Amino acid sequence: MIFFYLILSFSLVNSSSVYLFFERTTIELSLSESIEIHSKLSSIQAQASSSLSIVYRLHGDTDQTFFLNTQTGELYLRKSLDYETQPIYKLTIEARAATATSIVAPCFTQLIIYIVNINDNPPDINLVIYPSVLYESDIIKYDLNSPLTHFATIYIKDLDESTENLTLTINNTDDFQVQLIRRMKTSLVYILSIRTHGQYLKQEDFYISMNTCDNDQPLLCTNRTYRFQFRSNEYLCNLSFNQKTYIIDIDEHLPNRSLIMKKMTNKFCENLTFSIDDNENFSMDFQTGDLYTLKRFNRLERSIYVIHLFINNLRKIKIIVRLLDQFGKIPFLFNKNLVMNVETFSTIQIFNSTFCRSQSMMENYFQLLSNCTIRSLTKPLPQGQYLFQIELFQHTNYRDTFLLELRNEQIYFLAFKQLQWFVIVSICLSMIGILGIILIIKYKRSRFNQVKYSLKQQQQKKKNVPFFSIEIIAIVHRG
């Protein structure tokens, strides 16, 4: 007993000299989004006694953007970084003894990686012409009685965080005017107008060149050129029946009753009424054509709405409303969720395109191919809901979510089959019963006809027998 106590005391004294810890509970790194793949980022090591062998693990890296050497604690970059997609990563590094029988407790440290933005996205120009002044595909109807006719909205977007240094210039300021009306975090909104000064525009075709620059380092600019033809307001309300399509991008957290499309008409358009075919999610002023939201939207449930606008119940215009996320990402999936049987699921194509950004591992059980097909990597798959982040390969600003729900539908399917067979058997028995009744009725009717016929024959015989007897007797008597 004394010997066992001495051994236990000796082991406790030795264990107290074994230690394992990180010098800092939080480690912060700042990385440029232009850093090359496979670059060494840092070496993170725990403090321990010289006799202790350590292994390291990385937690929280769901997209597998980084790689941690389990033996040395060296951190490497596995995928390219994008500030506009994810500006910060919060991970956890664990250090523990290499031997499973060690009594030394593991230690942890938080790793925060800040992505430093660089100017790598040129600004984008999007021109939206007002339907109320569009006569044909490239003919604009201007107001002859007004010095300015507003005919389009210009949206300038820059994904590199700030719009403070964005500029917009046009080549023709004698006939056109641009006016800044709204500045948002990643975009500027301008109104494009035509100058008339009470005179007809004599030039047949007008070319307007727009140039926008971010004035950052390096300098990135975008140029767009448009061609227009103009007619005076005598044609202002002549509506063509060619279907047009307009895209409206709104924030997913936009409040209820928000105005998202304004002034479909002006003072020269009279006796016009406007209506839409989606009155559950949007409302439209039937006199002015102003379009409002009717609820707060959830981008995970649905991110694209298609509205058809009717003018005097004749002209139809397609309006596509897209819900942008907090980073301004544009959705592209119409089918946002799907419920499938976990036993039979293998692959599913979620988008009819070949431009999806492939992912080797999704949710630890799936893989996304370049043709936008999700396939399973393991069998069997756990039941539950899986939310995927899908990106288009050649469109850096297009990102959407897809919800896949896997269920075990076998029990319901068997119940359905049993119910189906019950219905089929019931129908067959009913048909057999009806057929039996019909046969019985036919048999009884046939028997009735036979009895009736035999009775008629007997009555006929009774009537005819005395007559023949008299004749025979008479003949004998005469003879």
Q: Please identify, among 277, 299, 324, the residue that sits at the C-terminal boundary of a domain.
A: 324
Decide if 368 is inside a domain.
yes
Q: Which residue would you say has higher pLDDT here, 461 or 2?
A: 461
- The answer on 354 and 403 residing in a single domain is yes
Decide if 429 is inside a domain.
no
| pLDDT tens-digit map of 120-157 | 788 899 999 988 788 767 788 887 778 888 999 999 98
- The answer on 318 and 196 residing in a single domain is yes
Which pLDDT score is estimated for 5?
40
Q: Stretch 89-115: mean pLDDT, rounded? A: 90
- The answer on 318 and 189 residing in a single domain is yes
Q: Could you give the 3-state DSSP secondary structure of residue 283?
A: strand
Which pLDDT score is estimated for 423?
74
- The answer on 206 and 98 residing in a single domain is no
Which of 8-22, 28-42, 226-240, 437-451 has the weakest average pLDDT?
A: 8-22
CA distance 81 to 79: 6
Confidence of residue 19 (pLDDT cuts 50, 70, 90): confident
Which pLDDT score is estimated for 478?
39
Confidence of residue 11 (pLDDT cuts 50, 70, 90): very low
CB 365 within 8 A of CB 381: yes
Q: Which residue would you say has higher pLDDT here, 441 or 238?
A: 441
* 388's tokens: 């995927």
- The answer on 370 and 291 residing in a single domain is no
Q: Stretch 355-372: mean pLDDT, rounded? A: 87
Decide if 426 is inside a domain.
no
Q: Stretch 163-167: mean pLDDT, rounded? A: 80
CB 327 within 8 A of CB 400: no
pLDDT at residue 304 greater than cutoff 90 = yes
CB 246 within 8 A of CB 319: yes
Q: Please identify, among 116, 136, 156, the residue that sits at the C-terminal boundary of a domain.
A: 116
Decide if 351 is inside a domain.
yes
Q: Stretch 10-28: mean pLDDT, rounded? A: 71
- The answer on 404 and 387 residing in a single domain is yes
pLDDT at residue 474 greater than cutoff 60 = no
Model confidence, pTM: 0.40
- The answer on 232 and 137 residing in a single domain is yes
* CATH number (domain holding residue 257): 2.60.40.60
List Cα–Cα distances, 29 to 64, 90, 109, 345, 418, in angstroms. 17, 11, 13, 41, 62
Share of the chain above pLDDT 90, in %: 27
Which pLDDT score is estimated for 270?
66
pLDDT at residue 108 greater than cutoff 60 = yes
Decide if 449 is inside a domain.
no
| pLDDT tens-digit map of 31-43 | 988 888 989 999 9
Average pLDDT over the chain, rounded to an integer: 81
Which of 82-86, 188-192, 261-265, 270-274 has the weakest average pLDDT?
A: 261-265
Highest mean pLDDT: which range of 370-374, 410-414, 464-468: 370-374
Range of the domain at 128: 124-324
Decide if 12 is inside a domain.
no
Confidence of residue 461 (pLDDT cuts 50, 70, 90): low
Which of 4-18, 85-99, 165-179, 247-261 has the weakest average pLDDT?
A: 4-18
- The answer on 378 and 271 residing in a single domain is no
How many domains, the chain?
A: 3
Confidence of residue 440 (pLDDT cuts 50, 70, 90): confident
pLDDT at residue 475 greater than cutoff 60 = no
- The answer on 354 and 313 residing in a single domain is no
- The answer on 149 and 216 residing in a single domain is yes
Decide if 128 is inside a domain.
yes
Confidence of residue 472 (pLDDT cuts 50, 70, 90): very low
List Cα–Cα distances, 324 to 130, 156, 186, 293, in angstroms. 22, 15, 12, 15
* CATH number (domain holding residue 374): 2.60.40
- The answer on 179 and 298 residing in a single domain is yes
Decide if 381 is inside a domain.
yes
Q: Stretch 298-321: mean pLDDT, rounded? A: 87
CA distance 438 to 360: 68
Half-sphere exposure of 26 (CA within 13 A, CB side): 5
- The answer on 100 and 190 residing in a single domain is no
Q: Please identify, among 98, 116, 134, the residue that sits at the C-terminal boundary of a domain.
A: 116
Q: Stretch 331-343: mean pLDDT, rounded? A: 89
